[in-house]
Amino acid sequence: MRGKERLIVALDVDDWSRARELAGLLRGVVGGFKVGMRLYYRVGPAAVEFLRGLGREVFADLKLHDIPSTVAGGVRALTAAGASIINVHAAGGRAMMRAAAEAAAAEAARLGIPRPKVVAVTVLTSLDEQALREEVGIPESTLAVALRWALLAKECGLDGAVAAPLEAAAIKKACGPDFLLITPGVRPPGAPLGDQRRVMTPGEAVQAGADYIVVGRPILQAADPVRAAEEIVKSLGG
């Protein structure tokens, strides 16, 4: 996979016109776009459909987490909209993740379209071990939890996981090279961390095993978003 194909830009903006403007500027520079809650809850499936129409990968980052039948319905809707990657929360458990995988395959077959990849969110990159232990009530390390949930996702037939780059190498080693790994919490050297805690640079994340890196604010808030994206792609090898 080339460097350009690895970069997914998080279109975490409130304004649909701005999102479309950014997508138009960046479509030839990056591999795909992430539609998260911030944009999806304002625009809906039209955001996914529009971006898919640009010929780029679309990562529907809605972190589905509910009873299995509800999550399956959400996955079917996102598949029909054209999402190429859909994520669910590993914390939802085995039955929920299996329902998500089955729903993606069934809906894609019904529509005669490629099946989207379904991946599991492990530990949010905004959490450190103290917060995981004292606030969430999980006494294990972030690495141990991310690894356990990634292995469970693989067992359930999911295509991969979303994890902090610090956990990437261990997950790749345990789950195998074909297990897709998406890493948020990526910041170019010198960029503000914001609310991220467990971060690496783009190059470090890929070296650790990331297949895709997700970058938002360092590109969206740059004076020249295209140049900012190009610099990240350059750091990934072109």
Instruction: Compute how many other C-beta atoms are within 10 angstroms of the C-beta atom of residue 227.
Output: 12
Q: Dump pLDDT digits (tens) for 35-74.
A: 999 999 999 999 999 999 999 999 999 999 999 999 999 9
- Of residues 14, 15, 63, 195, which has the active-site annotation? 63
Is 224 part of the annotated catalytic residue set? no
Is 234 part of the annotated catalytic residue set? no
- Of residues 4, 14, 15, 66, which has the active-site annotation? 66
Distance CA 103, CA 27 (A): 29
User: What pTM was estimated for this model as a whole?
Assistant: 0.92
- Please state the domain count of the chain: 1
> What does pLDDT average to over the chain?
92
Beta strand segments in the chain, E: 7-10, 32-36, 57-64, 85-89, 117-121, 160-162, 180-183, 212-215
Over residues 155-165, mean pLDDT: 96
- Of residues 4, 14, 15, 61, which has the active-site annotation? 61
Q: Answer yes or no: is pLDDT of 77 > 80.
A: yes
Over residues 10-27, mean pLDDT: 96
> Which residues share a beta bridge with 186?
200
Q: Dump pLDDT digits (tens) for 119-146.
A: 999 998 888 888 989 999 999 999 999 9
Known binding residue 220? Answer is no
Residue 194 corresponds to which tokens in the numbers above?
A: 């914001």
Q: For residue 125, what is the domain's CATH number?
A: 3.20.20.70
Dihedrals φ, ψ of 137, to 5°?
A: 85, 20
pLDDT of residue 236: 87
Instruction: Compute how many other C-beta atoms are within 10 angstroms of the C-beta atom of residue 130.
Output: 9
pLDDT of residue 27: 95
Q: Answer yes or no: is pLDDT of 196 > 50.
A: no
Known binding residue 12? Answer is yes
pLDDT of residue 198: 53
Known binding residue 94? Answer is no
pLDDT of residue 64: 98
Known binding residue 66? Answer is yes
Dihedrals φ, ψ of 126, to 5°?
A: -85, -10
Is 14 part of the annotated catalytic residue set? no
Q: Which domain holds residue 107?
A: 3-235
